[in-house]
């Protein structure tokens, strides 16, 4: 019975996890100030939710650091314009 619950939880967890950009593509992701807010929304969607952290145990810290670095690059290099 316990193994059935584990398999069911894994199946649900697989559906709940969002697809991620490859880390090599993420590192090469351009700083595009003309589309700052669209890029920020996309990059923020790449960060793990608290549910994903619980489901997967530990999210890849290198990936999370790369996403946060790209967000910081956009915020620091691009002028803050009105949406």
For 7-32, how does the pLDDT look when each residue is reduced to its tens digit (9 = 90+)? 444 444 444 556 778 888 888 888 89
Determine which helix (DSSP H) or strand (DSSP E) holds 10, and give its type and residue range: helix 2-16
Residue 83 covered by a domain = no
Mean pLDDT of the chain: 75
* Highest mean pLDDT, choosing among 32-41, 50-59, 74-83: 32-41
Task: Tell me the mean pLDDT in the region 42-53.
Answer: 80
Tell me, yes or no, if the pTM score tops 0.85: no
Cα 16 → chain centroid: 13
Structural domain including 63 reads: 2-77
Q: Which residues fall within 8 angstroms of residue 13, CB to CB, at 6 or more apart?
A: 55, 56
Residue 41 covered by a domain = yes
Residue with the bigger pLDDT between 20 and 65: it is 65
Residue 82 covered by a domain = no
Domain count for the chain: 1
């Amino acid at each position: 019975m316990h193994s059935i619950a584990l398999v069911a939880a894994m199946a649900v967890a697989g559906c709940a996890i969002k697809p991620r950009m490859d880390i090599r593509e993420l590192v090469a992701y351009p700083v595009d100030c003309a589309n700052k807010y669209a890029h920020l929304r996309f990059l923020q969607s790449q960060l793990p939710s608290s549910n994903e952290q619980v489901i997967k145990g530990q999210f890849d810290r290198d990936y999370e650091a790369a996403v946060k670095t790209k967000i910081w690059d956009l915020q620091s290099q691009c002028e803050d314009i009105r949406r």
